[in-house]
Amino acid sequence: MMNINQQGTTKIRTFWGISIILIECTIVIFVFYFLYFFWIENPTPTSNILIVRAISKKSVSIPSEVNADGWLIYSNSDYGLSIKHPSDYKIKQDDIYYGDEQGILINFEKDNNPEFYFRIFESGANENIAEAYQRLTGISPAAYQSFVQEVGGKEAVVYRVIPGEISGDQIFFIANGYFFEAPFNQGTVNMLATLSL
């Protein structure tokens, strides 16, 4: 039979065993929280590169061809763009501001719900996409994950606003002296495939 000393020793070993497991779990949770908050939620340019390598293949892309039968064409000669859209979309145009910079918002709506849009601002001479974005928003694009995507025959950049969620992506490009922003997700890439600049 087990004596009192052996029972006490067993209880102590069990106590310390459970304590060590709890401490290890606490450390693991802290490390994951630290990595999530400081690396994913607030990514640095270095972490951007690592994250994009991991997720860029999972992103949607603009198809080379789409079935746009029955779609209508929206053209705007002021900004040199033409794009097809479903026939039940209504189009509204409003002024919009980024700080002191005035531009326009072209909304494509269905049942009064925005389905697609363009935000358009004048682009500075020889300005690239990152420079235009930072000038207009005051936010460094290095804060976002990003990848390059061609749209309408132009090089564009997709900024992943919400890490890991395609619904948060925005696509930016410069054409005809203007800086364009549009949503980039599974529901909008078919329209972007019909864009002509």
Tell me the pLDDT tens digit for each residue of 12-59. 666 676 777 778 777 767 655 555 544 444 444 444 444 444 444 456
Tell me: pLDDT of 134 over 60: yes
The domain ranges of the chain are 4-42, 72-192
Arithmetic mean of pLDDT over the chain:
81
Residue 87: what pLDDT? 95
| Cβ neighbours around 15 below 10 Å, total | 10
Alpha helices in the chain (DSSP H): 4-35, 45-55, 129-137, 189-192
Are the C-beta atoms of 84 and 70 separated by less than 8 Å?
A: no
User: Residue 59 and residue 55: Cα distance in Å, rounded?
Assistant: 7
Residue 22: what pLDDT? 76
**Amino acid identity, residue 78?**
D
Beta-bridged to residue 180, according to DSSP, are: 120, 173
Higher pLDDT, 194 or 162: 194
> Candidates 1.10.443, 1.10.20, 3.40.1000, 1.10.287; correct CATH number of 72-192?
3.40.1000
Residue for token pair 């991991």: 54
Are the C-beta atoms of 159 and 139 separated by less than 8 Å?
A: no
